[in-house]
Amino acid sequence: MPMTNRERILAVLDKRSPDRIPWIARLDLWYHARVAEGNLPARFRGMTLVEVGRALRTGNPARDGKVFKVCYEGMEVRNERAPGVARQRFVTPYGEVTFGRILSDKVSGTTDQGLPLEHPIHSVDDYNVLEYIAEHTYYEPCYDEYLAYETAVGGEGYPMVSCGDVPFHYFLLHLSGYNQAYFEMVDHAEEFEHLITVMEQVDRERLWPVVAESPARLILHGVHFDSQMTPPHMFRKYMTPYYKDFSALLHARGKSLVWHADDDSKDILAEVKDAGFDMSECFCTAPMVEVTLEEARAAWKGDVAIFGGVPSIILEPTFPEAEFEEYMRGVFRTIAPGDAFILGVADNVMPTSLIERVERVSDLVEQHGAYPVQPY
Amino acid sequence: MADYAALKQAVISGKAAQVKELTQKALDEGRNPQEVLDQGLIPAMDIVGEKFSCHEFYIPEMLIAARAMQAGIGLLKPLLAAAGGKPRGKVVIGTVKGDLHDIGKNLVGLMLQGSGFEVVDLGADVKPERFVEAVKTSQPHFVMMSALLTTTMLGMKDTVEALKAANLRTAVKVAVGGAPVTQRFCDEIGADFYAADATGAVTKAKALLPA
């Protein structure tokens, strides 16, 4: 009797051998765009996203689990939505700040994903507002909701619970924006250091215990770390201490720490391992970024499991069929015998991807993915 | 006596106020603005580029150095223009339609300016027709396009086609870059060159400038 995807993922996390490598493709962007544009292939019409994944013989990424709700006290939070744009305005005794996101026209209305449009830091005064928000942020457990989600996912996947970001990177990504953030670190060094220290303290005191005591095992914390934007020296200074402590806490409770690795990690492979991460999810490889699967496997061995290996660009019509086949042959060659590996698309099957190639990967997994994987 | 070594070091260290001060000091001493640019600021950014290439510097250091360099350029620019000085070349840059990622594009722009190019920055989410219009009005040597997404990189092809349709394709060299972009994609869409990073874009632009 073949293992379920859930059992395969758990085997990978426990450093046991699954019957074959798990294969889980994120189809949500492709699916929602096709539905929105009315060009979902006829054979998938009327199907849910999960049903399409099933028809394509990939597992369920199960990324919608939650173990807490974020609560704010002592402030007013206004959520505003206009076509293509979402804004969240925080009105505090120290002033107001706004987070704005622009929503992709392909997915607007179907997801809250979006690119930052407006960052809250415009002047040094905004640091006080953000410090107030951090100090008045609480995390309310919703473990029953998680358990219901885990039951709903069943054997088709294993829920990965998104639990935030390290304050330094949250500052880069959400509070200031990458460009300006580096200038802020120089121009307002004291305020920057103070703010991320406060945020980290709040995480340690309020977020970490809620996550650690939760029924979830796969804890996704941190996204888009990148060789260039979070370079090794910054990673070591601002991220490693946080993650060493957080991963130790999670490991003591049998949980696994995962980060979303859809940017280039060539120069931070050692830092990721040292920080205590157990898995790199949506792990993106050349030719989309510099790092190769070979380099990551050599650096991480079995210590950091890889969930990815299929860069979405090789699913595009512009990527020749023969090279796609050769690329996949290389993936199987590199991952053999298959330890610490979940095959996935990094980071998404895109709206323009050839869905036939997703099916082809499913064929390859069925033909060559049995453990121990033999190169073909 | 103008201290170009100190000026270079200030740029490399990203100390904008010091760059401004040293640039002003050199001008106050009667130094030619072009000399200050050629012996102080441009060599500094060359060193920054070298440090980036050997992974001693990363994008944060590049951005901070480029901003420091801009503090000096800001003082020199009006003087160079008044003296009839010409930029090394002119570049229209932008992130293609549908794509809001502009860090790479900004860095390329800053590095080009640091190397003496005039940059016309069209921003992000730039439609092909805006590139065409900018080529008509600015008459650049280069059009440089950036994309971070596989879904938006095809906007580069659309722009190349739009330049062809406007009979402007041979008037400019077209460069492409960004995470999903490759040399092969560059060749497929008929662009002139691909650069993997900002320093590569500057190096190739310099090499392709008309003698």
- B chain contacts of residue A228, beta-carbon cutoff 8 Å: 58-59
B87 three-state secondary structure: coil
String of b and e for A12-51 (b: at least 16 CB within 10 Å)?
bbeeeebebbbbbbbbbbbbbbbbbeeebeeebeeeebbe
Q: B76-92: per-residue pLDDT in tens?
A: 989 988 888 788 899 99
Instruction: Confirm if B152 and B99 have CB atoms less than 8 A apart.
Output: yes
User: Looking at residue B111, what is its pLDDT?
Assistant: 85
Q: In terms of DSSP bridges, do strands B117-121 and B142-146 run parallel, antiparallel, or are they unpaired? A: unpaired
Degrees, nearest 5: CA angle A109-A113-A116: 115
User: Looking at residue A284, what is its pLDDT?
Assistant: 94
Structure token pair of residue A281: 């999810």
Structure token pair of residue A110: 């179907």
Closest by CA to A167, choosing from A113, A130, A214, is: A130
User: Looking at residue B86, what is its pLDDT?
Assistant: 83
String of b and e for A258-269 (b: at least 16 CB within 10 Å)?
bbbbbbbbbbbb
Distances in Å between the Cα of A334 and the Cα atoms of A236, A362, A375 are: 29, 18, 8
C-alpha B139/C-alpha B147 separation (Å) is: 23
Least confident of A111-120, A335-344, B111-120, B139-148: A111-120
C-alpha A295/C-alpha A151 separation (Å) is: 37
A309 three-state secondary structure: strand
User: For chain A, which ranges sit under pLDDT 70?
Assistant: 104-114
Site from A30, A186, A264 to mutate, B interface, most B CB atoms within 10 angstroms: A186
- B chain contacts of residue A316, beta-carbon cutoff 8 Å: 150
Partner-chain contact B180 A231, CB within 8 Å: no
Partner-chain contact B103 A229, CB within 8 Å: yes
Q: Report the run of H or E that residue A281 belongs to, with start and end.
A: strand A279-283
Site from A168, A228, A263, A269 to mutate, B interface, most B CB atoms within 10 angstroms: A228
Q: Which is more confident, B102 or A156?
A: A156
Whether B53 contacts chain A with CB within 8 A: no
Instruction: Confirm if A337 and A371 have CB atoms less than 8 A apart.
Output: yes
Partner-chain contact A287 B188, CB within 8 Å: no
**Cα Rg, chain A, nearest whole Å:** 21
A210 CA to chain B: closest CA distance, Å? 34
Whether B14 contacts chain A with CB within 8 A: yes
Whether B187 contacts chain A with CB within 8 A: no
Q: B160-188: per-residue pLDDT in tens?
A: 999 999 999 999 999 999 988 889 889 99
Instruction: Confirm if B59 and B107 have CB atoms less than 8 A apart.
Output: yes
Q: B123-135: per-residue pLDDT in tens?
A: 988 999 999 999 9
User: Looking at residue A104, what is its pLDDT?
Assistant: 63
Structure token pair of residue B85: 């000085």
Q: Average pLDDT in the B186-201 region?
A: 92
Q: Report the run of H or E that residue A342 belongs to, with start and end.
A: strand A341-346
Closest residue in A to B102 (Cα) is A179
User: Looking at residue A107, what is its pLDDT?
Assistant: 47
